[in-house]
Structure 1
C-alpha cells in the first residue's frame, strides 16, 4: 500500500518544480514509523538540529499559489496549475493527517507528509529559498 502511494506521488510530482527564489523538484519520502509526526520527530527523521525552526502549514495554504489559475496564464502555465491540482488531490486522497512542515528560515526544507492507511508516513520534500 505504501509503495503504491509513493509511486502515485512520484508520478504526480514528476517534472514539477516548486517555485520560490529557487525552483526545486519534489522527492518522495517514506518513513516506516507508526508514531504520530511531531515537529521534534520530523527534525529527528530528517537529521536537522533539534533547535531548527519548524513552521506548520496546511496543504491548501502551501500550494495556494501553485494551484490557482490566473487569467494571464498561458497554456503551459495552465497545464502546470492542473498538474499541481492533481498532485494535491493525490496527496489528499491517499494520506490522512496531512501536514506541511517548513524547516529553516531562508533556505527552507519543506515536507508534505501524511499517514498511509497501513500506518507509515509518506509524502514529498522540496526546497525553498525565501529572502
Structure 2
C-alpha cells in the first residue's frame, strides 16, 4: 500500500468516531495478500475464531446514518456529516472492491476494506461497535 493511501485514510478518519452504543475511532488497516478476501480469510487475518459470524454490507449502507445530514443537526453535527462524506469519497477513490465486514454479534469488529491500486493488497479502516 502506498503511504499516500494510508495518509489519506488516516487524515480523513482523524477524530471521527463511529457512533453506536460506544463511540469508537477508526484505525488504518493493511494486509498484503494475493488471495481473494472472503469472510473466512478475513477471520484468519483478524485472528477471530473461524466460526465467528460475519455480515457483509456496502460502505454506503454501513455509514448511511453518519453521512446523512438532518434538519435538526447543529453546525458541529453538519461538519461531522461532511467529514464522513469525505471519508467515503477517500475510500471509494483509493480502493476498489470496497466491502464492509461486520464480525460478531454484540461487540462487533467492523472492517471497511478494498483493493489498493495495482491490486494484491487490501487496505481500509477498522472500528468497533456495540449493538445490544
The question of whether the paired residues in 2 share the 8 Å contact of 1:2 and 1:118 is answered with: no
Alpha carbon RMSD of aligned pairs, Å?
Answer: 0.7
Segments of 5+ residues of structure 1 without an aligned counterpart are none
CA distance in 2, matches of 1:21, 1:63: 15
Deviations 1:29-86 (A, max 9, x none): 0001121100000000000000000000000000000000000000000000000000
Aligned residue pairs total 131
Q: Report 1:44-123 matches (<5 A).
A: 44-119=44-119, 120-123=121-124
Deviations 1:73-117 (A, max 9, x none): 000000000000000000000000000000000000000000001
| 1:30 partnered with 2:40 | no
Could you say which residue in structure 2 is the equivalent of 1:127? Answer: 128
CA distance in 1, matches of 2:50, 2:117: 29
Deviation at 1:118, TM superposition (A): 2.5
After TM superposition, the runs of 4+ consecutive aligned structure 1 residues lying more than 3 A away are none
CA distance in 1, matches of 2:118, 2:7: 15
CA distance in 2, matches of 1:79, 1:62: 19
Segments of 5+ residues of structure 2 without an aligned counterpart are none
> What TM-score comes out, normalization by structure 1 length?
0.98
